[in-house]
Structure 1
Amino acid sequence: MKAWLCTLTLFCASLHAVTVDEALVVDKAWNNKIYRDEIRPVWLSEQQFWYRVRTGPQATEVVLIDATTGKRKVGADLASLGIPTVLTVKTSLSDEAPQSSRNGPATRITFRNQWKDPVQLFWIDTTGRAKDYGLIKPGDALSQNTSVGHVWRLDDPKQNLVAVVVSKTQELDVLIDGYSRVAEEINARGKSGVGRAPSPDGRWLAEVKSDQLQVTEIATGKTDTVATPADITKPVIEGIHWAPDSAKFAVCVAERVSKRQITLVSPHSGNTEKPKTKVIDYVKPGDELPKPQPWIVHVGNGTPQVVQVDRTLFPNPFIQKHHFDFRWTPDSQEVSFDYNQRGHQLYQILSIQARTGAVRVVVQEKSPTFIDYTQKTWRHWLATGELIWMSERTGWCHLDLYDARMGRPKNPITQGAWVVREVLHVDETKRQIWFMMAGGRANEAPYHQHLCRVNLDGKGLTLLTSADGNHRIQFSPDHSYFLDTWSRVNSPPVTELRRSTDGALICVLEKADISALLSTGWQMPDRFSAPGRDGQTIIHGVIFKPSHFDPAKSYPVVEQVYAGPHGSFAPHEFGVFGRQKQMAEMGFIVVQSDGMGTNHRGKKFHDVAWKNLKDAGFPDRIAWIQAAAKERPWMDLNRIGIYGGSAGGQSAMRALLDHSAFYKVAVADCGCHDNRMDKIWWNEQWMGWPVDESYERSSNKVDAAKLVGPLLLIVGEMDSNVDPASTYEVVKALQEAQKPFDYLPLVDTGHSAAETLQGSRARMEFLVKHLNPSGN
């Protein structure tokens, strides 16, 4: 193994290519050079909203819009337009969000408790976790600095939800005077608890104490203990969920399953002489998982009565917790839960009859490959007893309407050789759905998302956006209007105000100004498409050039790769593209595309990844790069490298194992090089269960002896996402095979180690050294 030097000689490229040091900071010249591009509307009523927009380096203006006419008023600030700077609302405010968005502009919320009870304030972080921000006593107020889009939750002393408030650009003065409408509805349905939950009517408390399930009548204090089955020696009792009638609850009992743990070790130890260590739970493919047993516990007639449920229909769930997530019907007669069978080839919604414990199938999905359970099992329950369900059973991601009571489909809602990407709104009264579709427009990239509306009977499909580009939608509070921001990688954002009924344009709100960005020399990317491995399926991608680009010269090519089946990754909307552009400034042509095996192009396209992660779309991406180079003689395919992180790190190394005739050099960052060693949920999703020889076939560790070409392995020693041992095992295998390679472990660093300053520098220097962009 070569010794790695952290201070390699910098290659000062000719033809105005920059040094590594210059490339690492060149993106600063592009930052904040796009104006009039981002709009966050603040709705004052259903017909009026305002937004603040950047018009220059230090300049903004405030725009007030009449949504019915599109008439606009412009001012320097809110006061100049007569808009109050503080918006006072009561807890009848019912806008709810599951988690905070990432940090927006700074703002402020003041909570004033005008209620009889104290309330507990929680911030809901970007992962959905609640963080305690203290108690607000009756009559007290608490002012909190926050950011636009952050979510705040208020609970009463019994841990019932009082209100959820989403911070806005305008400062909020929240008057707490009772439960919000949404909170009342949630509390009325009964609060779900892992180990403790009161009944909706407040009469009963179900809780787990010392591994025993107890039911207490709150008024009398009488407590009954529910016996645990004798065949469960280490019981875990979780997932208490009351029926709306407060006469029964669902709960799960399971044999405790210990989770695998890994220890992360870093030499960095602060003020001690010991290495830094961190032990984390880390379940891997093939590990034992819990098998929860649902109970229905009836109360109110003496000793609680347990109805045990036959597990015949759900013998082997893929679940890492010890309980299912339950949903009761409004009449309290049935409770449903999801059953994702291990191996991800059978997915069901099952329903338990509360009186007898009988189990029936509401929805069933089967696949000979995999079911994309994390993204394509969306559902919406209707008050009519119907269910809107997302499915890929036709080979394309679509929506179906089900009779949930009978457990059978009524009609397809959407259909065709295109996909539903996301459902934005369901109007149960009008029986209509607004959703984002992709791939349904001829002569347009199949990744561009458009807003559509359709009736629940499958009729009246209406395209509400029309421009050739990727569309992002923001609805008005009552969904009568929407803001449509669309762009392409080579076309700056345009934001329009449209009607939701027919998509009619009311006015153009803003067109992004990129003149300051272009003045820096920043180059617009190229969009390119060409057939993949089969000569028919069109592969789409982007080509990035340096600011000093000269078409008369020849440039080495570097591919940025990420080919995880959970998504698609080549960009399709406008941006500065800092990472790709930094690399290009070194004197490279940087390319990025999505080959077969990635998501959002239909099941056939996606299934290429099944038990075959080493494929990573290489045959498609190589064909795409070759086609691009035929039209662009300045792309030198005799000098082509590749880099990627995580799943992209696995692919980057695989390039030199299976495709070294094409790729000459690779940098692999924090790679999941052996899918047996990585986290269970991601790897079993695509590689299946039980662990079989397909895992070995995709292992970089197993194939390490096939390495041809310069390879740099980077790893963060404290990576809690991909076990660093995955890289360590590859290092060992390469050493045993006596293969030369370079290795950079980064001390006290987590996942995406190559995105740190030191990691980025090493990656750039390695690619420059072996591809020699100065040789133009």
Structure 2
Amino acid sequence: MRSRIGTSRLHGALVCGLLAMGMASSAIAAGQALTAQDYAQAERYMAYNTAPLIDHMVRSVHWLDGTHFWYVDHDASGDHYLRMDATNGQAAPLLDQAKLAAALAKAGKKDIKADKLGITDYRVATDGRDDIEVGGKHYLCNLHAAGECVDKSTLVKSDKEPGVLSPDRKQEAFIRNWNLWVRDVASGKETQLTTDGVENFGYATDNAGWKHTDNAILAWSQDSKQIATFQQDQRKTGDMYLVTTKLGHPELQSWKYPLAGDEHVTMIERVIIDVPAHKVVRLKMQPDQHRSSLCDDVSCGEDGGWDDVKWAPDGKTLAFVSTSRDHKHETFRVADAKSGEVRTVFNEDVATYYESGNGAVNWRYLPEANEAIWFSERNDWGNLYLYDLGNGQPKHAITTGEGNVTEVLKVDAKTRTVWFRGVGRTPGVNPYYQQFWKVSLDGGEPVLLTPEPADHTITLSEDGKYFVDSYSTTTNAPITVLRDANDGHTMATVAKADIKRLLATGWQPPEQIVVKARDGKTDLYGLLFKPTHFDSGRKYPIVDYVYPGPQTGSVRTFGFAPAEGDHQALAELGFVVVALDGMGTPWRSKAFHDAWYGQTGDNTLPDQVTAIKQLGQRYPWIDLDRVGMWGHSGGGNTTADAMFRYPDFFKVGWAESGNHDNREYEDDWDEKWQGLLVTNKDGSTNYDNQANQLIAKNLKGKLMLAHGSIDDNVPPYSTLLVVDALIKANKDFDLLILPNQHHGYAADTPYVTRRRWDYFVQYLAGDTPPKDYALKPWPWR
């Protein structure tokens, strides 16, 4: 390990060199030849260079029990793993990092360093050893003596199917040959639970078309004795095909991938499995759509679980929500776990689409009180309602008024208290700032537990007594504190981020901007990035980074970030870069989100155009004659759409992996946002308004289309439809196909990023990029 003195001296020398590079870059002017030094100046502001320069930025913590959590605190000397006692706010080392690094090295973990361990999971095993996950592997470590770690996979002989742990952590359920099995964690003994699973009609299978994994989708009962899952029927679902690039015969990849408008799509038959008895109870109901009330998959949450299913604490009943194919009809049902009888409790029908929250489903099952918490946007805002499970009628609203409940984090049935994240509920505060609240199930005014006007990241203890709050804005680095969940008062400071080392490089935060939407009334929020060598006497071309939604927006966060993608890096090359959340994106009112339902070709473009024009009027240094756009996936779709729909406004576009016609994409996503496919008598359809190939003939500017050749999320045929239309229209364009790359570009990302910089430098700014500049390889350690 380097000493603090040695690190400080190295940092000082680095800063001097970087400042010299910054002064050299300040001479950049339109029409000049940029150098490798100019690109190196830009690369300084990529996340892999900026993030390590922030000290004490703690955002995520991991609760070990009701009173202890662990976290990583970083400074110039490396990463420090700490454990805090919530009862007194005292922090101590989680473990002996030097001893752990040595033990992991002996266990075969290569290139491990004590100051950069990369621990992704930590808990204490039942035998007292440390159970640690590093680099995707779990190790059992005894650090009390000399230090010894053992790869857990060598202790118990088992196959490699990924499993879902039971709540008592003694069993894990997994899929093998289309059937569901359980494995005893301690002994490795395996037991088959189902026997009638067959190809494309298997149990718990994870296949949404756009993703297809070996994970099991299920929900364990709290006593670890029952499993709720499904038998997924894809026997009539259409196939998708891709081939790899290699010398010789290519490898054919095929899997089930239903398309919007297909007659036959994936269906699920719900079952409950009694694990000790190996008994399968099939619920007495018709097959359900492979849908979620939250997203475009039956499994949406970060933990990969089954979101729309909730067990009663006693395991006797199971509540679940069925979603119609078009997401307009939701049905709340309760099943008897022993008999399989199903009772419909209530429904919610909407004109466009229903969503149960942001990040996680917000409904809850409260069988002890014979009640349920239900989320609805029936008053144009996302609020919570209490329902009577006996008669299926709403009792009252739990929350009311403007602003959204975005995610329910905990419900205490005994105290009848709900803790939730929310946005837009505090007047005068940025409507995208997450804040934390509690409210009684019986109604009343919610209590704001995080009053600071900032974006709050919350981690609540399992018992709901404490929470860790990391709050920040784009200009104020995170302050992380431990708070009392009853009234929100601060109990201890966990960390205060220090950005002095980052500021020494010349780094600057983006500017928050507010403009009017297409209607001239609604406020839109975004971020604007300028070069650190900004000259107000110059005219800068503007690049619009876009992701249209509808499930998310262009702005990754309104909290603090050392880098928002490569926005600041691109700005360094002589651009103004903007990201704006237009109408049709989430987190605001239902009407705002519904702005272009059924017209997904809109892609927020009317808002992007009017926003850029407003910025051009506001800032004389923005050149409205040189406007570019780029985006990935939905943003790639939008970029091509912009070049075709507004060919005189957008001059240069870089479109990555776009879903250019959603009839070529998986069924659930666009059937939710565009509606079910309707073909008219003349052959036209309600999907024509979103098909980029139909308007490709309008292209005037410079357009690059990029796609991975084995993209199994948005298959490359979507881009090839546009390519074919451009060829037939005799239009010049550029095409970049990335062999053997998926929806994300993995090892090709640095190359694609550099090529994107080159494209805007050459065609939008009119400069000459340096030849073959090489960005740092990704991913980084």
CA distance in 2, matches of 1:390, 1:433: 13
From 591, 595, 604, give the equivalent of 1:617: 604
SS of 2:344's equivalent? strand
CA distance in 2, matches of 1:239, 1:574: 34
Post-superposition CA distance 1:161-205 (Å, at most 9, x none):
9996xxxxxxxxxxxxxxx97459x99xx999984579xxxxx99
CA distance in 2, matches of 1:611, 1:104: 48
Paired residue for 1:30? 50
Paired residue for 1:397? 382
CA distance in 1, matches of 2:421, 2:224: 39
Paired residue for 1:698? 690
1:54 paired to 2:40: no
CA shift at 1:254, angstroms? Answer: 8.2
Could you say if the C-alpha distance between residues 252 and 763 of structure 1 is closer, same or farther in structure 2, counting changes exceeding 3 Å? closer
CA distance in 1, matches of 2:167, 2:235: 40
CA distance in 1, matches of 2:280, 2:738: 57
Paired residue for 2:107? none
Paired residue for 1:285? 260
1:428 paired to 2:413: yes
Paired residue for 1:562? 547
SS of 2:568's equivalent? helix
CA distance in 1, matches of 2:317, 2:72: 49
Post-superposition CA distance 1:288-333 (Å, at most 9, x none):
12455668999xxxxx99998464xx78665889999876667887
Taking only the aligned residue pairs, the percentage that are identical comes to 30
CA shift at 1:751, angstroms? Answer: 1.5
Post-superposition CA distance 1:334-363 (Å, at most 9, x none):
655432111111111233568998754223
Taking structure 2 as the reference length, the TM-score comes to 0.73
CA distance in 2, matches of 1:496, 1:568: 29
Post-superposition CA distance 1:259-306 (Å, at most 9, x none):
322222343x1xx423454333322112212455668999xxxxx999
Whose Rg is larger?
A: 1
1:465 paired to 2:485: no
Paired residue for 1:234? none
Could you say if the C-alpha distance between residues 191 and 763 of structure 1 is closer, same or farther in structure 2, counting changes exceeding 3 Å? closer
SS of 1:32's equivalent? helix
From 2, 10, 14, give the equivalent of 2:29: 14
CA shift at 1:392, angstroms? Answer: 2.0
CA shift at 1:721, angstroms? Answer: 1.2
CA distance in 1, matches of 2:273, 2:398: 38
Question: Alignment length, in residue pairs?
Answer: 673
From 654, 665, 676, give the equivalent of 2:641: 654
Post-superposition CA distance 1:651-703 (Å, at most 9, x none):
00111111223211111011100010012222222112135523111100111
The answer as to whether partners of 1:433 and 1:453 remain within 8 angstroms in 2 is: yes
The answer as to whether partners of 1:163 and 1:182 remain within 8 angstroms in 2 is: no
Amino acid in structure 2 at the alignment position of 1:666: G
Could you say if the C-alpha distance between residues 254 and 447 of structure 1 is closer, same or farther in structure 2, counting changes exceeding 3 Å? closer
CA shift at 1:539, angstroms? Answer: 0.1
CA distance in 1, matches of 2:392, 2:489: 39
Paired residue for 2:700? 708
**Structure 2, unaligned stretches of length 5 or more?**
1-26, 101-115, 141-146, 183-190, 200-215, 300-305, 680-684, 769-781
1:497 paired to 2:482: yes
CA distance in 1, matches of 2:156, 2:383: 38
SS of 2:53's equivalent? coil
1:378 paired to 2:362: yes
Amino acid in structure 1 at the alignment position of 2:54: I
Could you say if the C-alpha distance between residues 357 and 110 of structure 1 is closer, same or farther in structure 2, counting changes exceeding 3 Å? closer
Segment of structure 1 superposing worse, 664-673 or 389-398: 389-398
SS of 1:207's equivalent? coil
Could you say if the C-alpha distance between residues 276 and 425 of structure 1 is closer, same or farther in structure 2, counting changes exceeding 3 Å? same
1:666 paired to 2:653: yes
SS of 1:652's equivalent? helix
Could you say if the C-alpha distance between residues 380 and 327 of structure 1 is closer, same or farther in structure 2, counting changes exceeding 3 Å? closer
CA distance in 2, matches of 1:249, 1:39: 34
CA distance in 1, matches of 2:196, 2:148: 35
CA shift at 1:712, angstroms? Answer: 0.9
CA distance in 2, matches of 1:461, 1:324: 26
Paired residue for 2:326? 343
CA shift at 1:251, angstroms? Answer: 8.9
Segment of structure 1 superposing worse, 628-637 or 286-295: 286-295
Segment of structure 1 superposing worse, 24-33 or 36-45: 36-45
Task: Show the 5 A alignment for 1:130-169.
Answer: 143-144=149-150
The answer as to whether partners of 2:117 and 2:134 remain within 8 angstroms in 1 is: no
CA distance in 1, matches of 2:640, 2:370: 51
Paired residue for 2:757? 764
The answer as to whether partners of 1:413 and 1:455 remain within 8 angstroms in 2 is: yes
CA distance in 2, matches of 1:588, 1:496: 38
Could you say if the C-alpha distance between residues 773 and 701 of structure 1 is closer, same or farther in structure 2, counting changes exceeding 3 Å? same
SS of 1:364's equivalent? strand
Paired residue for 2:248? 273
The answer as to whether partners of 1:702 and 1:733 remain within 8 angstroms in 2 is: yes
The answer as to whether partners of 1:588 and 1:773 remain within 8 angstroms in 2 is: no
Could you say if the C-alpha distance between residues 415 and 59 of structure 1 is closer, same or farther in structure 2, counting changes exceeding 3 Å? same
CA shift at 1:492, angstroms? Answer: 1.4
Taking structure 1 as the reference length, the TM-score comes to 0.74
1:262 paired to 2:247: no
The answer as to whether partners of 1:289 and 1:318 remain within 8 angstroms in 2 is: no
The answer as to whether partners of 1:557 and 1:639 remain within 8 angstroms in 2 is: yes
Could you say if the C-alpha distance between residues 281 and 467 of structure 1 is closer, same or farther in structure 2, counting changes exceeding 3 Å? same
Amino acid in structure 2 at the alignment position of 1:549: F
Task: Show the 5 A alignment for 1:255-334.
Answer: 257-267=235-245, 269=246, 272-287=247-262, 288-291=264-267, 309=284, 311=286, 318=291
